Chain A
């Protein structure tokens, strides 16, 4: 017996693709954000990144930290999303630690 079968795979709405933001011409003189999500390793990772960036670049870069409090997608979080967006405004680049 032959079967003509249907797809179980869901349609999605068209997703416009975007490229990423142009990169920096260097690290020195820049303000770099260190973002840690809610996982327990994220903050210690950023502590290490922070220390090693200072060791490498000293006073020639500025570092800024953001630690996510909630566990949902930070960008869509009603309380933390705006704070995260505002924090990004003052940065030249960001390093993200997710703990995994």
Chain B
């Protein structure tokens, strides 16, 4: 609908043909651009249809309405639209017990379906100890609502997600990375493709905040991995206003939208970690985001370097665009022993990729379609995280009180019973 709004803003009467299932999305998009009464005609043409007969039939059915939308005089509401309803954004919005708070937040559409921790003033104040930035600092504006991602709002959503204050530096950097136009977040977050943010954290902060990069790094059970991704998901909803079936039009959805965060397993890697390859110092902290929509795990058909590489290339096939290859430490050692480095691996994997279309999301070049990251624990599995866009990295800045903060939350770890 943005193109339709653009035409209206340029004084050209416009009407959009929109699949029936996208009516709410069209209304929301028009409202988000300040032209809530922009006209559109719902059609029966299947989404992304390539069948000429169905398209022709759908257009024939819709054409009278299309012509009417271009010629029917405007209503008073269309000439001067009423302000849209506003949501409470400041101060205390509810008082109740734990169950009542859950119900209130869930019914407002402010959760991801799981229970949240109540974002009280005290909890948010504690969360804000994780940054030196002032609460009212605007880190960016998140689409589609262009909601202001202030440090305080990031903290509120982080509390809800169950994060510790030590997550704040990563969350702030993650928001900065997502909002870099190169990430194409604005498209991925609302796309029918159900793309999900995937974060890789590098540097000493992984160990300090206990981001898992080893066994089961992408499984539930690690507070930092789980809550950082969850907080980002809540921000997409509450700051960006991307709600399922209204703005986020993911057809099938994606469980990774709950959380997909890992630390690179730098300690068990034979190579320089990703952030050092990108020009950061080894002692720097960095977060990298991309927007894949699928993740497959494979066992190589041979455990020498060719067996590992050929399995990766065969599994990728001929139609992939972008992949983060998660190499477990044992395979990384095998590949390194055979002389492979991340850059030579990437070049080898890239050879299998078909030419990149001149247009499309992310606009990847011919040489930036793959990354190799060491992750996971003992065992012999490879992960292929598949997307179409780019990777964007940002440095993570910790507050002055960082050492004290890390000590304060350091013992907040599971102590599993041995049985």
Residues of B within 8 A of A91 (CB): 12
Q: How far is the CA of A8 from the CA of B157 in the complex (A)?
A: 6
Q: A3-B101, A100-B192 are in contact. Are A13 and B146 (CB under 8 A)?
A: yes
A66, B170: Cα distance in complex, Å = 42
Q: Which of B13-55 contact A (CB under 8 A)?
A: 13-19, 21-22, 25, 32, 34-39, 45-50, 52, 55
Known: A6-B120, A9-B110, A100-B47. A74 touches B74 (CB 8 A): no
Residues of chain B contacted by A33 (CB below 8 angstroms): 7, 12
Interface of chain B residues 316 through 373 with chain A (CB within 8 A): 358-361, 363
Minimum CB–CB distance from B56 to chain A (whole Å) comes to 5
B156 located at the interface, meaning its Cβ lies under 8 Å from any Cβ of chain A in the complex: yes
Is B95 located at the chain interface by the 8 A CB criterion?
yes
Minimum CB distance partner of B38 in chain A: A20
Contacts of A92 in B (CB 8 A): 12-13
**B88 contacts chain A at the CB level, 8 A cutoff:** yes
Contact A12 to B148, CB < 8 A, known contacts A23-B13, A49-B59, A84-B3 = yes
Query: What mask results when residues 226 to 247 of chain B are scored 1 for a CB within 8 Å of chain A, else 0?
Result: 0000000010001111000000
Report A41-87 residues with CB < 8 Å from chain B CB: 41, 44-45, 47-49, 51-53, 56, 68-76, 81, 84-85
Query: Could you tell me how many residues of chain B have their Cβ less than 8 Å away from some Cβ of chain A?
Result: 106
Bound complex: CA A78 to CA B109 (Å) = 35
Given contacts A1-B97, A96-B4, contact A24 B48 (CB under 8 A): no
Q: Is the CB of B101 within 8 A of A5?
A: yes
Bound-state CA distance A22–B3 (Å) is: 18
| Inter-chain contact A70/B187, CB cutoff 8 Å | no
Return chain B residues, CB-CB under 8 Å to A41.
45-50, 55
Are B13 and A94 in contact (CB-based, < 8 A)? yes
CB pair B186–A72 under 8 Å, yes or no, is yes
Q: Is B1 an interface residue (CB 8 A)?
A: yes
- Given the interface contacts A7-B90, A96-B14, does A75 sit within 8 Å of B6 by beta carbon? yes
> Whole-angstrom distance from the CB of A96 to the nearest CB of chain B?
4
Task: Check A25/B9 contact, CB under 8 A, given A10-B89, A10-B153, A99-B47.
Answer: no
The answer to whether B14 touches A94 (Cβ under 8 A) is: yes
With contacts A3-B101, A7-B90 known, is A45 near B119, CB below 8 A?
no
User: Smallest Cβ distance from B211 to chain A, in angstroms?
Assistant: 23
The stretch of B60-68, B274-282, B288-296, B401-409 in contact with A is B60-68
B249 CB contacts on chain A under 8 angstroms: 100
- When the two chains form their complex, are residues A88 and B93 in contact, meaning their CB atoms are under 8 A apart? no
A4 CA / B161 CA spacing, docked (Å): 17
Type the 1/0 row for B212-232, where 1 means its CB is closer than 8 Å to any CB of A.
000000000000000000000
Measured CB to CB, the nearest residue on chain B to A10 is B147
Report the nearest B residue to A99, measured CB to CB. B48
**Which chain B residues numbered 74 to 128 have a C-beta less than 8 Å away from chain A?**
74, 78-84, 87-98, 101, 104-105, 108, 110, 118-121, 124
Q: Is there a chain A Cβ closer than 8 Å to B131's Cβ?
A: no
B168 within 8 A of A: no
Structural contact, B16 and A2, CB atoms closer than 8 A: no
User: Which of B55, B78, B82, B120 contacts A48, CB < 8 Å?
Assistant: B55
**Do A45 and B17 touch across chains, with their CB atoms under 8 A apart?**
yes
Known A2-B95, A3-B95, A20-B35; contact A44-B13, beta-carbon cutoff 8 A: no
Given known A-B contacts A10-B147, A93-B14, A96-B14, A4 and B95 have beta carbons under 8 A apart = yes
**From B10, B71, B192, contact of A25 by CB (8 A):** B71
Task: Give the interface of A toward B (CB within 8 A).
Answer: 1-13, 15-27, 32-33, 35, 37-41, 44-45, 47-49, 51-53, 56, 68-76, 81, 84-85, 88-89, 91-100
Given contacts A6-B92, A21-B8, A93-B70, 10 further A-B contacts (CB under 8 A): A3-B101, A13-B148, A17-B84, A19-B81, A38-B360, A48-B59, A85-B10, A94-B7, A95-B15, A97-B17
Q: What residues of chain B have their CB less than 8 Å away from a CB belonging to chain A?
A: 1-19, 21-22, 25, 32, 34-39, 45-50, 52, 55-56, 58-60, 63, 66-67, 69-74, 78-84, 87-98, 101, 104-105, 108, 110, 118-121, 124, 141-142, 145-150, 153, 156-157, 160, 184, 186-187, 192, 234, 238-241, 249, 358-361, 363
